[in-house]
Amino acid sequence: MQFRSITIEDKSLFQYYLADRYYETITYNFTSFYLWQYWDNYRFTENLGSLWVQCDLFGSVAFLPPIAPDEPTILAATEAMIDWFAKNDLPFFMVEGTEFHRQLYQNAWPNRFCYADFPLGDNYIYRVEDLVNLKGNKYRNKRNHIYQFLREYTNFQFLPLDKSLIQACRRLTDDWVNQHKPSHTIIAEYKGLQLLFDHYAELDCLGAGIIIDDKLEAFTIGEKLNRDTFMIQVEKANPAKQGIYQAINQFFLRDFAKDYTYVNRAEDMDEPGIRQAKQSYHPCKMAKKIHFTLAEDISAFA
């Protein structure tokens, strides 16, 4: 089998395989695969009526569970995937599964797999109304930050992203990169964001930005994840502007996610600052990521 990188031309193919199934984690969305392909070196192929997405994790070759519209196809493709690992003399390692996959495999093949939760990849899920209304004492600091922003920047504009603002997003992203030491994660995210900017009009994303004194100082981009959940793909802001992160979070969900019950704000990437920020908004639940190996070969988790 030949695996290749993900291009914008693959959007309809991924959407065909992803359709008609309720996914809670941000992974299972074409924009996510496209944007984050440099993070885990996503590559894919079609096989047995399913998509096989390969990645590098912990220095090992791994697959996501086969992506297919129906459960019998997922199971048949998983059986073939197990054979692929054996033929290539590699330990079976399947990553970024969900509770759906755990239940599917346990019901079909009791005790065939060992399951390991991967809390570093868990997605933070919130009620949209909580993050828009910010009611109660637990959100007092968020409200205060927004009040400070509104008092300080009375001339701000909150605008949907268009072609001209996408160019400004590139400049703000460059500033963000320059504020960090070079690393695999920073470079991978930067490269993915260039793909998003290059093909923003072709993706299903919604975006908006905050303009202060004719300069873009923050932007957010997201899209529908499932029937009741919106997701945030990226959020960048000038940290020198007091309250701007809290402001764009509230404004964006108020105007673009009001028809959804939940918002998925992805994982914290094992970054303490990001983790603290996400926890401070009080998620209503976490969407787990689960890794799988064969029960006869639990060494893959070592």
183 shares its domain with 242: yes
* 40, 54 contact by CB (below 8 A): no
Q: To 5 degrees, how large is the angle CA 64–CA 265–CA 55?
A: 20
pLDDT for position 78: 98
Q: How far is CA 258 from CA 128, 157, 201, 253, 255, in A?
A: 7, 20, 22, 6, 6
Q: What is the pLDDT of residue 11?
A: 98
What's the pLDDT score for residue 95?
96
Full domain range(s) for residue 111: 8-122+288-301
Q: What confidence score (pLDDT) does residue 271 get?
A: 86
Cβ–Cβ < 8 Å for 73, 66: yes
Residue in this structure with the two tokens 């957010």, named with its chain if needed = 220
Q: 0.75 exceeded by the pTM?
A: yes
Q: Are residues 85 and 147 in the same domain?
A: no
The answer as to whether 148 is a domain residue is yes
Structure confidence at residue 214 (pLDDT): 96
Mean pLDDT, each 10-residue run in order, the chain (302 residues):
96 95 96 95 97 90 96 98 97 96 97 95 97 98 98 98 95 95 93 98 98 98 97 97 98 98 94 93 97 80 51
Q: Both 215 and 195 in a single domain?
A: yes
User: Tell me, what CATH number does 40's domain have?
Assistant: 3.40.630.30
Kindly state whether residues 92 and 160 are assigned to the same domain: no
Q: How many distinct structural domains can be found in the chain?
A: 2
Instruction: Tell me, yes or no, whether 77 and 175 share the same domain.
Output: no
In this prediction, residue 296 carries a pLDDT of 85
pLDDT at res. 302: 52
Say yes or no: 162 and 65 in one domain.
no
Same domain? 154 vs 226: yes
**Is 82 in the same domain as 133?**
no
By the 8 A CB rule, do 278 and 268 touch?
yes
- Whether residue 3 is contained in a domain is answered as no
Are both 136 and 236 inside the same structural domain? Answer: yes
Is 228 a member of any domain? Answer: yes
